[in-house]
Structure 1
Protein backbone atom coordinates (compact mmCIF):
# COMPACT_ATOMS: atom_id res chain seq x y z
CA UNK A 1 0.00 0.00 0.00
CA UNK A 2 2.99 2.27 0.50
CA UNK A 3 4.11 1.63 -3.09
CA UNK A 4 5.14 4.65 -5.06
CA UNK A 5 3.35 5.55 -8.27
CA UNK A 6 6.44 4.46 -10.15
CA UNK A 7 6.22 0.97 -8.62
CA UNK A 8 2.49 0.84 -9.22
CA UNK A 9 2.97 1.74 -12.88
CA UNK A 10 5.52 -1.05 -13.23
CA UNK A 11 3.01 -3.49 -11.75
CA UNK A 12 0.09 -2.18 -13.82
CA UNK A 13 1.93 -1.90 -17.14
CA UNK A 14 1.18 -5.44 -18.27
CA UNK A 15 -2.50 -5.00 -17.48
CA UNK A 16 -2.65 -1.66 -19.29
CA UNK A 17 -0.97 -3.11 -22.37
CA UNK A 18 -3.36 -6.06 -22.51
CA UNK A 19 -6.55 -4.12 -21.78
CA UNK A 20 -8.53 -3.48 -24.97
CA UNK A 21 -10.40 -0.53 -23.45
CA UNK A 22 -7.28 1.59 -24.01
CA UNK A 23 -7.94 2.35 -27.65
CA UNK A 24 -6.33 4.94 -29.90
CA UNK A 25 -8.69 7.71 -28.84
CA UNK A 26 -8.08 7.16 -25.13
CA UNK A 27 -4.29 6.99 -25.54
CA UNK A 28 -4.46 10.28 -27.46
CA UNK A 29 -6.51 11.86 -24.67
CA UNK A 30 -3.97 10.73 -22.08
CA UNK A 31 -1.06 12.06 -24.13
CA UNK A 32 -2.81 15.38 -24.71
CA UNK A 33 -3.63 15.74 -21.02
CA UNK A 34 -0.02 15.11 -20.05
CA UNK A 35 1.25 17.43 -22.77
CA UNK A 36 -1.08 20.36 -22.22
CA UNK A 37 -1.33 20.39 -18.46
CA UNK A 38 2.16 19.09 -17.64
CA UNK A 39 4.50 20.00 -20.52
CA UNK A 40 7.46 19.24 -18.27
CA UNK A 41 6.37 15.59 -18.39
CA UNK A 42 5.59 15.41 -22.12
CA UNK A 43 6.84 18.16 -24.38
CA UNK A 44 5.38 18.77 -27.85
CA UNK A 45 7.90 16.61 -29.69
CA UNK A 46 7.31 13.65 -27.38
CA UNK A 47 3.53 14.12 -27.60
CA UNK A 48 3.67 14.02 -31.40
CA UNK A 49 5.70 10.82 -31.17
CA UNK A 50 3.13 9.13 -28.90
CA UNK A 51 0.21 10.37 -31.05
CA UNK A 52 1.67 9.10 -34.34
CA UNK A 53 -1.15 7.05 -35.90
CA UNK A 54 1.18 5.11 -38.19
CA UNK A 55 2.48 3.30 -35.09
CA UNK A 56 0.09 0.73 -33.54
CA UNK A 57 -1.64 1.82 -30.36
CA UNK A 58 -0.19 -0.93 -28.18
CA UNK A 59 3.36 0.01 -29.25
CA UNK A 60 2.71 3.70 -28.55
CA UNK A 61 1.22 2.86 -25.17
CA UNK A 62 4.20 0.66 -24.25
CA UNK A 63 6.59 3.44 -25.22
CA UNK A 64 4.55 5.99 -23.26
CA UNK A 65 4.57 3.85 -20.12
CA UNK A 66 8.33 3.28 -20.41
CA UNK A 67 8.88 7.01 -20.96
CA UNK A 68 6.79 7.92 -17.90
CA UNK A 69 8.69 5.46 -15.74
CA UNK A 70 11.95 7.07 -16.83
CA UNK A 71 10.56 10.52 -15.99
CA UNK A 72 9.96 9.55 -12.37
CA UNK A 73 7.38 9.62 -9.63
CA UNK A 74 5.55 12.81 -10.61
CA UNK A 75 5.09 11.69 -14.21
CA UNK A 76 3.65 8.35 -13.07
CA UNK A 77 1.33 10.12 -10.64
CA UNK A 78 0.03 12.45 -13.34
CA UNK A 79 -0.54 9.49 -15.67
CA UNK A 80 -2.73 7.87 -13.01
CA UNK A 81 -4.59 11.13 -12.55
CA UNK A 82 -5.22 11.44 -16.30
CA UNK A 83 -6.33 7.80 -16.44
CA UNK A 84 -8.74 8.42 -13.57
CA UNK A 85 -10.17 11.50 -15.30
CA UNK A 86 -10.65 9.96 -18.74
CA UNK A 87 -11.62 6.36 -17.93
CA UNK A 88 -12.62 5.48 -14.41
CA UNK A 89 -13.55 1.90 -15.26
CA UNK A 90 -9.99 1.11 -16.37
CA UNK A 91 -8.53 3.03 -13.44
CA UNK A 92 -10.54 1.15 -10.83
CA UNK A 93 -9.84 -2.22 -12.45
CA UNK A 94 -6.04 -1.80 -12.29
CA UNK A 95 -4.39 -4.62 -10.29
CA UNK A 96 -2.84 -2.21 -7.80
CA UNK A 97 -6.21 -0.50 -7.22
CA UNK A 98 -7.98 -3.83 -6.75
CA UNK A 99 -5.31 -5.01 -4.33
CA UNK A 100 -5.52 -1.73 -2.43
CA UNK A 101 -9.30 -2.06 -2.07
CA UNK A 102 -8.93 -5.63 -0.84
CA UNK A 103 -6.32 -4.69 1.77
CA UNK A 104 -8.33 -1.73 3.04
CA UNK A 105 -11.47 -3.88 3.22
CA UNK A 106 -10.47 -6.83 5.43
CA UNK A 107 -14.05 -8.07 5.73
CA UNK A 108 -14.13 -8.71 2.01
CA UNK A 109 -17.31 -6.79 1.39
CA UNK A 110 -17.88 -5.73 -2.15
CA UNK A 111 -17.26 -2.02 -2.66
CA UNK A 112 -19.27 -1.97 -5.87
CA UNK A 113 -22.35 -3.00 -3.90
CA UNK A 114 -21.59 -0.29 -1.34
CA UNK A 115 -21.41 2.35 -4.08
CA UNK A 116 -24.66 1.11 -5.59
CA UNK A 117 -26.43 1.14 -2.23
CA UNK A 118 -25.44 4.74 -1.66
CA UNK A 119 -27.72 5.83 -4.53
CA UNK A 120 -30.73 3.64 -3.74
CA UNK A 121 -33.52 5.76 -2.32
CA UNK A 122 -35.52 2.88 -0.93
CA UNK A 123 -35.40 -0.87 -1.21
CA UNK A 124 -39.11 -1.56 -1.26
CA UNK A 125 -39.38 -2.04 -4.99
CA UNK A 126 -41.70 -0.89 -7.73
CA UNK A 127 -44.94 -2.10 -6.11
CA UNK A 128 -44.45 0.21 -3.16
CA UNK A 129 -43.91 3.12 -5.53
CA UNK A 130 -47.02 2.21 -7.55
CA UNK A 131 -49.07 1.94 -4.36
CA UNK A 132 -47.99 5.37 -3.12
CA UNK A 133 -48.46 6.89 -6.54
CA UNK A 134 -51.97 5.51 -6.89
CA UNK A 135 -52.92 6.83 -3.45
CA UNK A 136 -51.66 10.28 -4.48
CA UNK A 137 -53.55 10.12 -7.79
CA UNK A 138 -56.70 8.98 -6.02
CA UNK A 139 -56.52 11.86 -3.56
CA UNK A 140 -55.92 14.32 -6.40
CA UNK A 141 -58.91 12.99 -8.35
CA UNK A 142 -61.08 13.13 -5.26
CA UNK A 143 -59.98 16.69 -4.57
CA UNK A 144 -60.46 18.02 -8.10
CA UNK A 145 -63.57 16.09 -9.15
CA UNK A 146 -65.44 16.10 -5.85
CA UNK A 147 -67.43 18.94 -4.45
CA UNK A 148 -65.74 21.46 -2.20
CA UNK A 149 -67.27 20.03 0.96
CA UNK A 150 -65.15 16.86 1.01
CA UNK A 151 -61.95 18.62 1.99
CA UNK A 152 -63.45 21.85 3.20
CA UNK A 153 -61.23 24.80 2.56
CA UNK A 154 -58.11 22.99 1.43
CA UNK A 155 -56.66 26.17 0.04
CA UNK A 156 -55.26 27.10 3.43
CA UNK A 157 -53.53 23.73 3.64
CA UNK A 158 -51.99 24.32 0.20
CA UNK A 159 -50.76 27.71 1.33
CA UNK A 160 -48.97 26.20 4.31
CA UNK A 161 -47.52 23.34 2.27
CA UNK A 162 -45.86 25.89 -0.01
CA UNK A 163 -43.42 26.89 2.74
CA UNK A 164 -40.94 24.07 2.03
CA UNK A 165 -41.03 24.27 -1.77
CA UNK A 166 -38.99 26.13 -4.33
CA UNK A 167 -39.81 29.64 -5.48
CA UNK A 168 -41.80 28.72 -8.61
CA UNK A 169 -43.86 26.01 -6.93
CA UNK A 170 -44.50 28.32 -3.99
CA UNK A 171 -45.76 31.06 -6.31
CA UNK A 172 -48.18 28.66 -8.02
CA UNK A 173 -49.59 27.33 -4.75
CA UNK A 174 -49.87 30.76 -3.15
CA UNK A 175 -51.58 32.18 -6.24
CA UNK A 176 -54.04 29.29 -6.09
CA UNK A 177 -54.83 30.03 -2.46
CA UNK A 178 -55.28 33.74 -3.19
CA UNK A 179 -57.69 33.07 -6.06
CA UNK A 180 -61.00 33.34 -4.21
CA UNK A 181 -63.00 33.55 -7.45
CA UNK A 182 -62.03 30.03 -8.41
CA UNK A 183 -64.79 27.55 -7.70
CA UNK A 184 -64.24 23.86 -7.03
Structure 2
Protein backbone atom coordinates (compact mmCIF):
# COMPACT_ATOMS: atom_id res chain seq x y z
CA UNK A 1 0.00 0.00 0.00
CA UNK A 2 2.61 2.59 1.06
CA UNK A 3 6.29 2.59 1.83
CA UNK A 4 5.44 3.11 5.49
CA UNK A 5 4.15 0.07 7.31
CA UNK A 6 3.45 1.69 10.66
CA UNK A 7 3.41 4.87 12.66
CA UNK A 8 7.00 4.36 13.84
CA UNK A 9 8.22 4.39 10.24
CA UNK A 10 6.08 7.42 9.49
CA UNK A 11 7.40 9.28 12.52
CA UNK A 12 10.95 8.52 11.51
CA UNK A 13 10.26 9.89 8.03
CA UNK A 14 8.36 12.94 9.28
CA UNK A 15 10.80 13.84 12.07
CA UNK A 16 12.97 16.12 9.95
CA UNK A 17 9.94 17.96 8.58
CA UNK A 18 8.45 18.37 12.07
CA UNK A 19 11.71 19.71 13.51
CA UNK A 20 12.15 22.21 10.68
CA UNK A 21 8.54 23.41 10.47
CA UNK A 22 8.15 26.92 11.89
CA UNK A 23 4.48 26.30 12.73
CA UNK A 24 5.44 23.84 15.45
CA UNK A 25 6.19 26.44 18.08
CA UNK A 26 6.57 26.22 21.88
CA UNK A 27 2.84 26.58 22.55
CA UNK A 28 1.91 23.79 20.17
CA UNK A 29 4.62 21.51 21.53
CA UNK A 30 3.30 22.12 25.05
CA UNK A 31 -0.25 21.21 23.96
CA UNK A 32 0.98 18.01 22.34
CA UNK A 33 3.00 17.03 25.41
CA UNK A 34 0.09 17.83 27.74
CA UNK A 35 -2.33 15.75 25.70
CA UNK A 36 0.03 12.79 25.62
CA UNK A 37 0.63 13.17 29.35
CA UNK A 38 -2.93 13.69 30.52
CA UNK A 39 -4.78 11.32 28.22
CA UNK A 40 -2.07 8.66 27.90
CA UNK A 41 0.16 8.78 30.99
CA UNK A 42 1.53 5.34 30.06
CA UNK A 43 3.07 6.97 26.99
CA UNK A 44 4.38 10.12 28.65
CA UNK A 45 4.78 10.25 32.44
CA UNK A 46 4.66 13.46 34.47
CA UNK A 47 8.45 13.53 34.81
CA UNK A 48 8.94 13.07 31.06
CA UNK A 49 6.29 15.67 30.25
CA UNK A 50 8.03 18.17 32.55
CA UNK A 51 11.32 17.49 30.77
CA UNK A 52 9.77 18.13 27.34
CA UNK A 53 8.09 21.32 28.55
CA UNK A 54 11.22 22.94 30.02
CA UNK A 55 11.53 26.39 28.45
CA UNK A 56 15.30 26.64 29.03
CA UNK A 57 15.81 24.11 26.23
CA UNK A 58 15.06 25.32 22.67
CA UNK A 59 11.82 24.08 21.12
CA UNK A 60 13.50 22.26 18.25
CA UNK A 61 15.70 20.29 20.64
CA UNK A 62 12.75 19.37 22.87
CA UNK A 63 10.74 18.32 19.83
CA UNK A 64 13.56 16.15 18.50
CA UNK A 65 13.92 14.49 21.91
CA UNK A 66 10.15 13.95 22.14
CA UNK A 67 10.06 12.34 18.72
CA UNK A 68 12.98 10.08 19.58
CA UNK A 69 11.33 9.17 22.89
CA UNK A 70 7.99 8.35 21.21
CA UNK A 71 9.72 6.31 18.53
CA UNK A 72 11.36 4.26 21.28
CA UNK A 73 8.01 3.76 23.04
CA UNK A 74 6.52 1.89 20.11
CA UNK A 75 3.71 1.93 17.63
CA UNK A 76 0.92 3.05 20.00
CA UNK A 77 2.89 6.05 21.23
CA UNK A 78 3.61 7.18 17.68
CA UNK A 79 -0.04 6.70 16.73
CA UNK A 80 -1.20 8.84 19.67
CA UNK A 81 1.30 11.54 18.72
CA UNK A 82 -0.19 11.68 15.23
CA UNK A 83 -3.69 11.86 16.69
CA UNK A 84 -2.66 14.74 18.98
CA UNK A 85 -0.99 16.51 16.07
CA UNK A 86 -4.12 16.08 13.96
CA UNK A 87 -6.29 17.52 16.75
CA UNK A 88 -4.10 20.49 17.66
CA UNK A 89 -2.39 21.34 14.36
CA UNK A 90 -4.28 20.03 11.38
CA UNK A 91 -2.44 22.38 9.01
CA UNK A 92 0.88 20.80 10.05
CA UNK A 93 -0.57 17.29 10.03
CA UNK A 94 -1.95 17.59 6.49
CA UNK A 95 1.44 18.68 5.09
CA UNK A 96 3.50 15.89 6.63
CA UNK A 97 5.60 14.18 3.95
CA UNK A 98 3.98 10.80 4.60
CA UNK A 99 0.47 12.28 4.34
CA UNK A 100 1.33 14.11 1.11
CA UNK A 101 2.83 10.92 -0.34
CA UNK A 102 -0.32 8.97 0.57
CA UNK A 103 -2.53 11.56 -1.11
CA UNK A 104 -0.38 11.47 -4.24
CA UNK A 105 -0.48 7.68 -4.31
CA UNK A 106 -4.26 7.74 -3.88
CA UNK A 107 -4.60 10.25 -6.73
CA UNK A 108 -2.49 8.22 -9.13
CA UNK A 109 -4.10 4.91 -8.24
CA UNK A 110 -6.73 3.82 -10.79
CA UNK A 111 -10.08 4.14 -9.19
CA UNK A 112 -13.07 1.90 -9.55
CA UNK A 113 -15.61 4.63 -8.93
CA UNK A 114 -17.88 3.24 -11.62
CA UNK A 115 -18.05 -0.12 -9.88
CA UNK A 116 -18.64 1.53 -6.52
CA UNK A 117 -21.46 3.66 -7.89
CA UNK A 118 -23.08 0.67 -9.54
CA UNK A 119 -22.97 -1.30 -6.31
CA UNK A 120 -24.42 1.59 -4.36
CA UNK A 121 -27.18 2.29 -6.85
CA UNK A 122 -28.06 -1.20 -7.98
CA UNK A 123 -31.78 -0.41 -7.86
CA UNK A 124 -31.30 2.81 -9.78
CA UNK A 125 -29.84 1.49 -13.03
CA UNK A 126 -32.60 2.91 -15.19
CA UNK A 127 -32.05 6.47 -14.11
CA UNK A 128 -34.15 9.19 -12.56
CA UNK A 129 -36.49 9.65 -15.54
CA UNK A 130 -37.72 6.09 -15.15
CA UNK A 131 -38.64 6.66 -11.53
CA UNK A 132 -40.19 10.01 -12.33
CA UNK A 133 -42.35 8.43 -15.02
CA UNK A 134 -43.37 5.64 -12.62
CA UNK A 135 -44.30 8.23 -10.03
CA UNK A 136 -46.38 10.19 -12.55
CA UNK A 137 -48.09 7.01 -13.65
CA UNK A 138 -48.98 6.08 -10.07
CA UNK A 139 -50.27 9.60 -9.42
CA UNK A 140 -52.40 9.37 -12.55
CA UNK A 141 -53.87 6.05 -11.46
CA UNK A 142 -54.58 7.47 -8.02
CA UNK A 143 -56.35 10.47 -9.50
CA UNK A 144 -58.43 8.24 -11.72
CA UNK A 145 -59.28 5.99 -8.82
CA UNK A 146 -60.29 8.67 -6.35
CA UNK A 147 -61.82 11.27 -8.64
CA UNK A 148 -62.76 9.28 -11.71
CA UNK A 149 -66.35 8.50 -12.47
CA UNK A 150 -67.68 5.91 -14.85
CA UNK A 151 -67.95 8.58 -17.58
CA UNK A 152 -64.29 9.46 -17.22
CA UNK A 153 -63.22 5.84 -17.44
CA UNK A 154 -65.29 5.22 -20.56
CA UNK A 155 -63.53 8.10 -22.29
CA UNK A 156 -60.04 7.10 -21.21
CA UNK A 157 -60.40 3.33 -21.56
CA UNK A 158 -58.56 3.10 -24.87
CA UNK A 159 -55.79 5.34 -23.64
CA UNK A 160 -55.28 3.24 -20.51
CA UNK A 161 -55.16 0.03 -22.56
CA UNK A 162 -52.43 1.52 -24.76
CA UNK A 163 -50.55 2.81 -21.72
CA UNK A 164 -50.56 -0.64 -20.19
CA UNK A 165 -48.61 -2.14 -23.10
CA UNK A 166 -45.23 -0.93 -21.82
CA UNK A 167 -45.81 -2.08 -18.26
CA UNK A 168 -44.82 -5.37 -16.70
CA UNK A 169 -47.23 -8.27 -16.87
CA UNK A 170 -48.62 -7.80 -13.35
CA UNK A 171 -49.04 -4.05 -13.68
CA UNK A 172 -50.71 -4.48 -17.07
CA UNK A 173 -53.23 -6.97 -15.60
CA UNK A 174 -54.09 -4.64 -12.73
CA UNK A 175 -54.56 -1.64 -14.99
CA UNK A 176 -56.67 -3.41 -17.59
CA UNK A 177 -58.86 -5.05 -14.97
CA UNK A 178 -59.40 -1.66 -13.35
CA UNK A 179 -60.39 -0.20 -16.69
CA UNK A 180 -62.77 -3.05 -17.45
CA UNK A 181 -64.45 -2.82 -14.03
CA UNK A 182 -64.79 0.94 -14.45
CA UNK A 183 -66.33 0.56 -17.89
CA UNK A 184 -68.94 -1.92 -16.63
CA UNK A 185 -70.28 0.55 -14.10
Q: Tell me how far apart the structure 1 counterparts of residues 81 and 5 of structure 2 sit (CA, whole Å).
A: 16
Q: Tell me how far apart the structure 2 counterparts of residues 12 and 107 of structure 1 sit (CA, whole Å).
A: 23
Q: Tell me how far apart the structure 2 counterparts of residues 12 and 92 of structure 1 sit (CA, whole Å).
A: 12
Q: Tell me how far apart the structure 2 counterparts of residues 17 and 65 of structure 1 sit (CA, whole Å).
A: 9
The corresponding residue for 1:48 is: 50
Q: Where does the alignment leave 5 or more consecutive residues of structure 2 unmatched?
A: 111-185
Alignment of 1:125-144 (within 5 A): none
TM-score normalized by the length of structure 1 = 0.57
Q: Which has the higher helix share?
A: 2
Q: Tell me how far apart the structure 1 counterparts of residues 98 and 91 of structure 2 sit (CA, whole Å).
A: 14
> 1:105: Cα distance to partner?
1.0
> 1:3: Cα distance to partner?
1.9
Q: How many pairs align?
A: 108
Q: Tell me how far apart the structure 1 counterparts of residues 50 and 101 of structure 2 sit (CA, whole Å).
A: 34
Higher Rg: 2
Q: Tell me how far apart the structure 2 counterparts of residues 17 and 87 of structure 1 sit (CA, whole Å).
A: 14
> 1:68: Cα distance to partner?
0.2
Q: Tell me how far apart the structure 2 counterparts of residues 39 and 16 of structure 1 sit (CA, whole Å).
A: 23
Structure 1 runs, 4 residues or longer, greater than 3 Å off:
none
The C-alpha deviation readout for 1:92-112, integer Å capped at 9, x for no partner, is 00000000000011179xxxx
Q: Where does the alignment leave 5 or more consecutive residues of structure 1 unmatched?
A: 109-184
